[in-house]
């Protein structure tokens, strides 16, 4: 700075708390030197450069940068002005962040560091993003976000305690909700679409269809009875599903895998004909008989009267679920989706055959005529006829 310029700026009035703009002219290990157009230069100690902890001033400033600072102290004796970039940034930052919080604004920040429990950024003040608010799902390695630009929202703000909590998850949730609304409009009930199995529960499977997770209830996983969803599908599987119900307000979609595939009553039943004897598996035992599975999704009823040639009071007395049995097909009704079966008619065992009463031969008890020989009724009548 020339002597004439120095004399001119010396007349400038500068007070503690003033906000001034200058240009960086030097960067060393502990401070940054700034030309603020005053009688002597300003210095920014490393601790006053950022709301975050930094290892070297070069992480924040470079020679030639224009910086806005707040005057902390004017040291006439050492001929320096102590400045704070951190406080100057914070002075206007809190008001701006408060507006963003009240309006629910989304804005972009750069992740400066990864600390225990989350991420930190400098937005004029120190902003903290807890690990639970980084993503909609669990993030195992937060280091992948360091140096990245991400969009966040303010979810908690307390200037008095210098506390600012930001959330990336809030932005992702909002985007997801918007996407759900758009996707639901494009999923007409009855249509068949392709989805990806996301996760399994005891009551079914969640399938992603166009960015929306829909539920396939366990009863809709297959045409046959399913005990556990993992017996049919696993996460990552690509499946065809039919849209059963859409609830835009709740953001829910009910899906069916079995309805997206041919019914065994449309194809499988053609393999069977009345009168044929086939092998099946007992699947359900009820008061009036048992249901026997002939092939997956295709079951027929063996009425309790058709279980055995002997009287059966309870089907569970002679049969158990999972038991393999031979059955004779009595009748098939595709329209009502019913098949009548018989176990006893498929059995080779038959009850003892009784002779008709009229064919039975009765013989009277031999009578003693006193001669020591037995005489039959026929003998007596024969003698009578001879006398006549």
Which domains, and CATH codes, for the chain? Answer: 3-88 (2.40.50.140), 104-172 (2.40.50.140), 188-260 (2.40.50.140), 268-346 (2.40.50.140)
Among 202-206, 272-276, 369-373, top mean pLDDT goes to 202-206
Helix (H) or strand (E) holding 173: helix 169-185
d(CA 5, CA 350): 125
CA dihedral 91, 92, 96, 102 (to 10 degrees): 40
**Cβ atoms 80, 40 nearer than 8 A:** yes
* pLDDT surpasses 80 at 260: yes
pLDDT of residue 236: 94
* pLDDT surpasses 90 at 300: yes
Please give the average per-residue pLDDT across 251-260, as a whole number.
91
Confidence of residue 1 (pLDDT cuts 50, 70, 90): very low
Structure-block tokens of residue 123: 């937005």
Helix (H) or strand (E) holding 22: strand 19-27
* pLDDT surpasses 80 at 163: yes
d(CA 136, CA 104): 18
* pLDDT surpasses 60 at 344: yes
Q: What is the pLDDT of residues 88-108, one digit of tens each?
A: 888 889 999 999 999 999 999
Confidence of residue 349 (pLDDT cuts 50, 70, 90): low
pLDDT of residue 34: 95
Lowest-pLDDT range of 27-31, 73-77, 111-115, 124-128: 73-77
d(CA 285, CA 381): 63
Q: Give the 3-state secondary structure of residue 176.
A: helix
pLDDT of residue 383: 53
pTM: 0.53
DSSP 116-137: TTEEEEESSSEEEEEGGGT-SS
| Residue 94: φ, ψ to 5° | -60, -40
* pLDDT surpasses 80 at 288: yes
Per-residue buried b or exposed e for 14-32, using 16+ beta carbons within 10 Å of the residue's own CB: eeeeeebebebeebeeebb
Q: Of 92, 99, 134, which is closest to residue 117 (Cα–Cα)?
A: 134
Q: What is the pLDDT of residues 43-92, one digit of tens each?
A: 999 999 988 888 899 988 999 999 999 999 998 888 899 999 988 888 88
How far from 159 is each of 94, 124, 310, CA to CA, in Å? 7, 12, 87
d(CA 208, CA 205): 10
pLDDT of residue 225: 82
């Amino acid at each position: 700075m020339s002597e004439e310029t120095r004399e001119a700026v010396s007349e400038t009035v500068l007070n503690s708390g003033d906000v001034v703009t200058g240009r960086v002219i030097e960067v060393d290990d502990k401070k940054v030197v700034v030309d603020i157009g005053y009688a002597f230069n300003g210095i920014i100690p490393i601790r006053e450069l950022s709301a975050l902890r930094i290892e070297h001033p070069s992480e924040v400033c470079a020679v030639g940068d224009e910086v806005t600072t707040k005057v902390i102290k004017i040291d006439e004796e050492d001929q320096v002005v102590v400045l704070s970039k951190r406080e100057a940034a914070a002075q206007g930052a809190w008001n701006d962040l408060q507006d963003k919080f009240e309006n629910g604004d989304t804005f972009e920040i750069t992740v400066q560091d990864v600390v225990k429990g989350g991420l930190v950024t400098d937005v004029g003040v120190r902003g903290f993003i807890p690990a639970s608010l980084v993503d909609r799902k669990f993030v195992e390695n937060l280091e992948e976000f360091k140096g990245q630009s991400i969009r966040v929202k303010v979810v908690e703000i307390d200037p008095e305690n210098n506390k600012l909590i930001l959330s990336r998850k809030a932005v992702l949730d909002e985007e997801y909700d918007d996407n759900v609304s758009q996707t639901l409009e494009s999923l007409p009930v009855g249509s068949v679409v392709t989805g990806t199995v996301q996760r399994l529960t005891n009551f079914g499977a969640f399938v992603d269809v166009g960015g929306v997770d829909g539920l396939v209830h366990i009863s809709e996983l297959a045409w046959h009875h399913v005990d556990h969803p993992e017996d049919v599908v696993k996460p990552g599987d690509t499946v065809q599903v039919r849209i059963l119900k859409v609830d835009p307000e709740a953001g829910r979609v009910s899906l069916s895998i079995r309805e997206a595939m041919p019914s065994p009553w449309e194809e499988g039943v053609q393999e069977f004909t009345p009168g044929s004897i086939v092998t099946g598996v007992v699947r359900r035992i009820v008061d009036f008989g048992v249901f026997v599975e002939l092939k997956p999704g295709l079951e027929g009823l063996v009425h309790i009267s058709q279980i055995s040639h002997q009287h059966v009071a309870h089907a569970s007395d002679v049969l158990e679920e999972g038991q393999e049995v031979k059955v004779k097909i009595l009748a098939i009704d595709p329209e009502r989706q019913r098949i009548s079966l018989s176990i006893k008619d498929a059995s080779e065992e038959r009850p003892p055959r009784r002779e008709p009463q009229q064919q039975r031969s009765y013989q009277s008890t031999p009578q003693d005529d006193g001669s020591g020989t037995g005489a039959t009724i026929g003998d007596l009548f024969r003698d009578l006829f001879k006398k006549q």
